[in-house]
């Protein structure tokens, strides 16, 4: 029996069992429903390989109602079949008689992917796990299942039906993606290999500040280096006039109130937070570098950190034993303003243990071909930043609650 406070595949006898697995196959797709990036699909293959002697029923979603890529799971089953080397059968039903009949006739080794769970309106309602367990989906599917596995870390910050509902009814555990996310992110949060540095950027200012407060107050991080929009907010909090265009942009994102909060954080963690000393302005597409104390009042948008900041940050990162990156340093999708993000990524691979959050920073790491050089690339954007901020993720809490019940009944 594992010493973890949740169960994994290793805690169950899966041979010949029917196992419901919630996976995250939500991928970028073009208007013709072609998959543009299948990283998330590939990430679940280790889980499925470890269940090859079971009957595996997959639950997943693609996009959400109202979006152009809100479509069926048929392309996902086809792509997953390619990676599995055998058919992953698409079933165009979630819990109706067609789906239940197909599940009942499954043979050992079969893998089926049910229809997009978000086609069922109740999936997206945020409710306690106990309430979700009384829905038609859970009542119809759970009698056909022996075990539920949550392998969808990236959606586990949402209290949604397919994430928490089955954990109330079935013996439940974490798939390999979920297990790896918890283990790897915990290692970054414990900061056991010091110095430990967090580099936070991107546009989610309030979330990034929560992470900074969490890791500095509990001693996980020795230093937090700030870039991106969060860096601009904190420059303003530190008394720097970042110019009207940048203040207006922060206002348009609804983050002006974070400046006052930033002042308190700078006071509380004096010397623990690194801010840019120069930035790169976007002058009609041209990169113009300027010291932060020389920013023009009516100037241009700040779209990256400057070269001096890149050199200083890179030196700190290279000397760290643990590095956690979340969010890009600037407008990384534009070549002229990708320098900060790319140099920080290159510096991070020199640390003994390197973690990158999901979303834009992971995409840039893969674009550079550095994904194999990171210790861990998270599959989750919002879920990762919530976890690093010390927040409770409903999907993980429900697994821990299920583990407690399971062990009590053994």
Is 63 part of any known ligand binding site? yes
Give the model's pLDDT for residue 191.
Answer: 65
Give the model's pLDDT for residue 1.
Answer: 39
Is 61 part of any known ligand binding site? yes
Average pLDDT over residues 385-405: 96
pLDDT in tens, 143-179: 999 999 999 999 999 999 999 999 999 999 999 999 9
The percent of residues above 70 in pLDDT, for the chain, comes to 99
Distances (CA, A) of 387 to 35, 40, 61, 102, 393: 28, 19, 22, 37, 7
- Region of 262 on the Ramachandran plot (φ > 0 left; ψ -120 to 50 alpha; else beta): alpha
Is 100 part of any known ligand binding site? no
Give the model's pLDDT for residue 297.
Answer: 82
Q: Is the pLDDT of residue 113 over 50?
A: yes
Give the model's pLDDT for residue 2.
Answer: 45
Give the model's pLDDT for residue 193.
Answer: 79
Give the model's pLDDT for residue 278.
Answer: 98
- Give the list of residues 6+ apart from residue 239 with CB closer than 8 angstroms, or none: none
Report how far residue 235's alpha carbon sits from residue 248's, in angstroms, rounded to the nearest whole number: 15
**In the chain, what is the straight-line distance between the N-terminal and C-terminal CA atoms, in Å?**
11
Is 85 part of any known ligand binding site? no
pLDDT in tens, 223-258: 999 999 999 999 999 999 999 999 999 999 999 999
Average pLDDT, the chain: 95
**Strands annotated E in 154-195:** 172-174
Report how far residue 100's alpha carbon sits from residue 36's, in angstroms, rounded to the nearest whole number: 31
Q: Is the pLDDT of residue 6 over 70?
A: yes
Report how far residue 95's alpha carbon sits from residue 143's, in angstroms, rounded to the nearest whole number: 11
Is 361 part of any known ligand binding site? yes
- Tell the burial category of 290 from Cβ atoms under 10 Å away from its Cβ (0-12, 13-18, 19+): middle
Is 358 part of any known ligand binding site? yes
Q: Which DSSP string corresponds to 268-326?
A: HTTTTEE--SEEEEEETTEEEEEEGGG--TT---EEEE-HHHHHHHHHHHHH-SEEEEE
pLDDT in tens, 68-93: 999 999 999 999 999 999 999 999 99
* Ordered structural domains, the chain, with CATH: 9-178+393-409 (3.40.50.1260), 194-351 (3.40.50.1260)
Residue 40 in tokens: 């998330």
Is 373 part of any known ligand binding site? no
Is 360 part of any known ligand binding site? yes
β-strands 322-326, 353-356 pairing: parallel
pLDDT in tens, 278-292: 999 999 999 999 999
Is 209 part of any known ligand binding site? no
Give the model's pLDDT for residue 298.
Answer: 80
């Amino acid at each position: 029996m594992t010493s973890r406070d949740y169960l994994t595949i290793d805690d169950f006898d899966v041979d010949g069992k029917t196992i419901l697995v919630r996976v995250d196959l939500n991928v970028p797709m073009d208007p013709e429903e072609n998959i543009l990036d299948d990283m998330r699909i590939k990430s679940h293959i280790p889980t499925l390989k470890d269940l090859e002697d079971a009957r595996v029923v997959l639950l997943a979603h693609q996009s959400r109602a109202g979006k152009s890529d809100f479509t069926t799971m048929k392309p996902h089953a086809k792509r997953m079949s390619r990676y599995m080397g055998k058919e992953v059968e698409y079933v165009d039903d979630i819990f109706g008689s067609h789906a239940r009949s197909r599940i009942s006739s499954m043979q050992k080794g079969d893998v089926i992917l049910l229809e997009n769970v978000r086609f069922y309106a109740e999936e997206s309602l945020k409710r306690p796990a106990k309430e979700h367990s009384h829905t038609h989906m859970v009542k119809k599917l759970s009698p056909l299942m022996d075990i539920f596995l949550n392998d969808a870390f990236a959606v586990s910050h949402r209290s949604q039906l397919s994430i928490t509902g089955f954990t109330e009814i079935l013996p439940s555990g974490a798939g390999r993606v979920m297990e790896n996310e918890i283990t790897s992110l915990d290692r970054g949060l414990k900061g056991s290999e010091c110095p430990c540095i967090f580099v936070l950027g991107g546009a989610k200012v309030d979330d990034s500040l929560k992470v900074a407060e969490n890791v500095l107050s509990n001693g996980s991080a020795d230093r937090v280096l700030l870039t991106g929009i969060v860096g601009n907010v904190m420059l303003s909090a530190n008394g720097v006039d970042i110019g009207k265009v940048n203040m207006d942009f922060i206002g348009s994102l609804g983050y002006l109130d974070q400046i006052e909060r930033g002042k308190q954080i700078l006071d509380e963690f004096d010397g623990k937070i690194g801010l840019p000393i120069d930035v790169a302005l976007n002058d009609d597409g041209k990169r113009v570098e300027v010291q932060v104390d020389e920013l023009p009042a009516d100037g241009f948008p700040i779209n990256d950190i400057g070269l001096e900041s890149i050199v200083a940050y890179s030196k700190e990162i290279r000397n760290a034993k643990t590095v956690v990156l979340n969010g890009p340093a600037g407008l990384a999708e534009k070549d002229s303003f990708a320098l900060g993000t790319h140099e920080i990524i290159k510096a991070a691979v020199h640390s003994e243990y390197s973690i990158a959050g999901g979303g834009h920073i992971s995409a840039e790491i893969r674009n550079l071909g550095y994904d194999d050089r990171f210790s861990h690339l998270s599959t989750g954007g919002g879920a990762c930043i919530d976890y690093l901020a010390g927040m409770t993720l409903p999907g993980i809490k429900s697994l821990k609650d299920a583990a407690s019940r399971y062990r009590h009944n053994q």
